[in-house]
């Protein structure tokens, strides 16, 4: 789960009539909760075997640095990096 845990989360803030995605740092507990939520959602999207089997596959992929949860984490970090200029608007 630690491999899938993000460091930041994007929160929408309305500033001057425009909604910006502002990166917000997460505590360890918040990061783990978000990673577990992502694991469950990615498990539900997969078709085929039982939920426990799909969840096991997703956890194994995350431990190897692969899978949809790791992609989601990397996308979140890229968006946070792109929007870090909006941190001064908080």
What was the pLDDT predicted at 51?
A: 92
Phi, psi of 22 (to 5 degrees): -100, 125
Beta bridge partners of residue 10, listed in sequence order: 23
pLDDT band for position 89 (cuts 50, 70, 90):
low
- In sequence order, the β-bridge partners of residue 11 are 22
**pTM score:** 0.84
Stretch 45-73: mean pLDDT: 92
What pLDDT is recorded for position 90? 60
User: pLDDT tens digits for 24-55?
Assistant: 999 999 999 999 999 999 999 988 889 999 99
Q: Domains plus CATH for the chain?
A: 8-89 (1.10.455.10)
């Amino acid at each position: 789960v630690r491999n899938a845990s993000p460091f930041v989360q994007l929160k929408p803030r309305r500033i001057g009539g425009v909604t910006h995605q502002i990166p917000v740092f997460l505590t360890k507990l918040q990061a783990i909760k978000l990673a577990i939520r992502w694991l469950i959602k990615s498990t539900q999207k997969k078709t085929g075997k039982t939920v426990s089997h799909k969840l096991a596959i997703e956890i194994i992929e995350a431990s190897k640095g692969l899978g949809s949860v790791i992609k989601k984490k990397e996308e979140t970090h890229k968006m946070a990096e792109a929007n870090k200029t909006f941190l001064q608007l908080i």
